């Protein structure tokens, strides 16, 4: 395994073991759903690893999201709350969330 792959696997296990805001079954289902949209479908675990490696290749900061939920579902605004399992928690500057369908 490559160092990036090992780092992703280690962070997944850390995220699962957190006493608060762990990577839950609901999160795994969301990553599975995302993985199922790919040209070559993958499991939730492999989807997280692939996203992690893609971020590292692009020199971005990989993050595993957990306990994400929507708090305000009005027509003009959607408010979401999630927990970030970051490689380097002090280095996150900004990010984007995309809701809806995606394609490779």
SS3 9: helix
Q: Is the pLDDT of residue 83 over 70?
A: yes
Predicted pLDDT of residue 94: 62
Can you give the pTM of this predicted structure?
0.78
Predicted pLDDT of residue 35: 92
Q: Rounded to whole angstroms, how far apart are CA atoms 83 and 23? A: 9
């Amino acid at each position: 395994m490559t160092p990036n792959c090992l780092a992703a696997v280690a962070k997944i296990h850390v995220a699962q073991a957190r006493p608060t805001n762990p990577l839950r079954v609901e999160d795994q289902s969301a990553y599975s759903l995302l993985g199922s949209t790919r040209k070559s479908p993958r499991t939730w675990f492999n989807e997280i690893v692939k996203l992690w490696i893609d971020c590292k290749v692009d020199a971005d900061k990989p993050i595993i999201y957990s306990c994400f939920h929507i708090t305000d579902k009005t027509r003009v605004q959607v408010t979401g709350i999630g927990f970030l399992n970051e490689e380097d928690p002090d280095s996150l500057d900004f990010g984007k969330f995309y809701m809806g369908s995606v394609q490779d």
